[in-house]
C-alpha cells in the first residue's frame, strides 16, 4: 500500500474506533438505551473533534502535525478514561473494556507520533501510523460484537 493510502487507512481507523467514545458513568449499571445514547453522542463529538487531524502533514509540516497529534491524544485519552468509567449492560461489558483499551493504545501511539513529529523524525511518524491499524483491530472487533448483540452504536460501528 502506498504511503498516502496507509496514512488515510490509519486515520480512518482512528476515527472509527475513537468515535465509539462515551462520556461519564454513574454509580449504577446503564440500560442498553442509555449506553447506546452515550456511545452515539460522545462518538459524534469526538469524530467532529478529530476531523481536522491531517496525516498528510507528514510530508510537509511536522510541527503542525505534532500539535494536532497532541490535541488528539488528549481527547482520545479522556474518552478512553470516560469509557473505562461506564457501567454498561452485562452483555456489553467485555466489549466496552476492549474499546477503552484500544483507545488507550491509540492515545499512547499518538503521543509517540507527536514526539517524533516534534523531533522532525518523518520516518518514525510514518512507521507509527502503521501501528494504529493493530490498535484499531480490537476496538473494531468489539464494535462489531456490540452490533451483533443488537446495539445501535451509530455510524462508528459501520
- The pTM score is 0.80
For residue 71, pLDDT beyond 70: yes
The answer as to whether 157 is a domain residue is no
Cβ neighbourhood burial of 99 (10 Å; 0-12, 13-18, 19+): buried
CB 157 within 8 A of CB 36: no
As a whole number, mean pLDDT of residues 67-95 equals: 93
For residue 11, pLDDT beyond 60: no
pLDDT band, residue 158 (cuts 50/70/90): low
Number of domains in the chain: 1
Query: What rounded mean pLDDT belongs to the chain?
Result: 82
pLDDT, greater one: 132 or 21: 132
pLDDT, greater one: 120 or 156: 120
The answer as to whether 121 is a domain residue is yes
CA distances from residue 54 to 61, 69, 127 in whole angstroms, order as listed: 10, 9, 16
The answer as to whether 8 is a domain residue is yes
**All cell numbers assigned to 28:** 449504577
pLDDT, greater one: 14 or 154: 154
- Euclidean distance between CA atoms 46 and 19, whole angstroms: 6
As a whole number, mean pLDDT of residues 40-46 equals: 78
CB 108 within 8 A of CB 128: no
- Euclidean distance between CA atoms 138 and 32, whole angstroms: 21
- Domain of residue 66, residue span: 3-20+29-149
pLDDT, greater one: 45 or 140: 140
- Euclidean distance between CA atoms 76 and 123, whole angstroms: 23
The answer as to whether 105 is a domain residue is yes
Cβ neighbourhood burial of 27 (10 Å; 0-12, 13-18, 19+): exposed
The answer as to whether 10 is a domain residue is yes
pLDDT band, residue 138 (cuts 50/70/90): confident
As a whole number, mean pLDDT of residues 145-153 equals: 94
- Find which of 2-16, 23-37, 60-74, 86-100 is predicted with most confidence, using mean pLDDT: 86-100
Q: What is the pLDDT of residues 85-122, one digit of tens each?
A: 999 999 999 999 999 999 899 999 999 999 999 999 99
The answer as to whether 141 is a domain residue is yes
Amino acid at each position: 500500500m502506498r504511503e498516502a493510502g496507509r496514512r488515510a487507512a490509519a486515520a480512518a481507523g482512528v476515527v472509527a474506533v475513537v468515535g465509539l467514545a462515551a462520556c461519564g458513568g454513574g454509580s449504577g449499571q446503564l440500560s442498553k438505551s442509555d449506553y447506546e445514547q452515550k456511545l452515539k453522542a460522545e462518538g459524534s463529538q469526538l469524530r467532529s473533534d478529530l476531523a481536522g487531524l491531517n496525516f498528510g502533514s507528514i510530508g510537509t509540516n511536522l510541527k503542525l502535525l505534532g500539535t494536532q497529534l497532541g490535541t488528539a491524544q488528549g481527547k482520545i485519552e479522556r474518552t478512553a478514561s470516560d469509557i473505562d468509567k461506564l457501567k454498561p449492560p452485562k452483555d456489553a461489558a467485555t466489549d466496552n473494556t476492549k474499546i477503552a483499551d484500544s483507545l488507550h493504545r491509540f492515545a499512547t501511539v499518538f503521543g509517540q507520533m507527536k514526539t517524533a513529529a516534534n523531533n522532525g523524525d518523518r520516518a518514525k511518524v510514518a512507521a507509527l501510523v502503521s501501528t494504529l491499524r493493530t490498535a484499531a483491530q480490537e476496538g473494531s472487533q468489539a464494535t462489531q460484537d456490540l452490533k451483533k448483540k443488537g446495539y445501535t452504536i451509530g455510524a462508528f460501528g459501520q
